[in-house]
Structure 1
Amino acid sequence: MRHIQSTVLYRWFNDVWNQDDENAIDRLLAADARAYGILREDQPRGPEGFKGFFREFRSQFHGIHVEVEDVISQDGVESARMTVTATHTETGKQVIFPGISMAYIQDGKIAQAWNSYDFLSMYQQLGQTLTPVP
């Protein structure tokens, strides 16, 4: 039986997002960590870079809850499957979208993370559509 609550990724989503604990970013993210799929290449690495994303997302959404449905952990790599629920602050619309994160864990912290969230579904729930660029 897996104990997902003992994994770094479970603590990350629970502490950072569900508990709204910005200080947990410093505790759980390595100083030079990369967050692929979340941050651009030109953004700072580590906690300071991620805090920019965290603050921006929090300014656009409230009532954020990440339900970690499963985590697999082996040989310093963790992979989590989750569902994000949040309320868009401007419109009051609730969004629900899935995501997957895979992270390399080093010294009890996330050293690198690869993230894939269904942001298309999130934007569609907000009534937004994609327009092809000519």
Structure 2
Amino acid sequence: MTGMNLLKAWYDKVWVQGDLNAVAEFFDTEALASGLMSDFAAQLEDFQTLVPAVRHALRNITISVEDSMEMGDKVWARMTLHAQKAEDMTPIHISGQVMVRLKDSKIIEAHNNYDFVSYFEQMGNLPKDSVALMLAGETLA
């Protein structure tokens, strides 16, 4: 299995299908995933809470890979998560990038960068155009 195939299988089984037992199949016990929250690196057991929380808020999740590159033990991918809000089935789209390092066919290191501002705008937790408002000097309260 190529590194990109492993990464696609990770997203499909864990995030799309919600198979929490598959986390250990893809994610090494020593692995850390950074970039999901400031000053926080998710470990294997953190996905037992994180995945159900996301899947509670979203329905019909799919992931499309826009670009990818594989070199040695590293895989980079630019992707888009497509889903619907659980509360009213409104479509949402979240772009992001991930770099993973693999060891023994498992993710040993992951660095994530997803557009969480856009996600929270689409979910109704932040006002539309939050970044533009803040760049103009507005404070969100």
TM-score normalised per structure 2: 0.78
In the other structure, the counterpart of 1:13 is: 11
Relative contact order, higher structure (CA 8 A, sep 6+)? 1
- Distance of aligned partners of 1:11 and 1:122 in 2 relative to their CA distance in 1, 3 Å threshold: same
Is contact 1:68-1:80 (8 Å) kept?
A: yes
Is contact 1:4-1:71 (8 Å) kept?
A: no
1:101 aligns with 2:108: no
- Distance of aligned partners of 1:26 and 1:40 in 2 relative to their CA distance in 1, 3 Å threshold: farther
In the other structure, the counterpart of 1:75 is: 72
1:42 is displaced (CA, Å) by 5.8
In the other structure, the counterpart of 1:64 is: 61
1:19 is displaced (CA, Å) by 2.9
Aligned residue among 109, 126, 131 for 2:123: 126
Aligned residue among 18, 22, 25 for 1:24: 22
Structure 2: give runs of 5+ residues left out of the alignment.
Answer: 131-137
Bigger Cα displacement from structure 2, 5-14 vs 55-64: 5-14
Q: Which amino acid aligns with 1:132?
A: T
Larger CA Rg, structure 1 vs 2 = 2
Structure 1: give runs of 5+ residues left out of the alignment.
Answer: none
RMSD over aligned Cα atoms = 2.5
Is contact 2:3-2:70 (8 Å) kept?
A: no
Q: Which amino acid aligns with 1:125?
A: Q
TM-score normalised per structure 1: 0.82
Matches within 5 A, 1:29-68: 29-38=27-36, 41=39, 45-46=43-44, 48-68=45-65
Is contact 1:4-1:70 (8 Å) kept?
A: no
SS in 1 for 2:55: helix
SS in 2 for 1:7: helix
Q: Which amino acid aligns with 1:57?
A: V
For this pair of structures, how many residues does the alignment match? 131
**Structure 1 residue ranges (4+ consecutive) displaced by more than 4 angstroms after TM superposition:** 3-6, 39-44
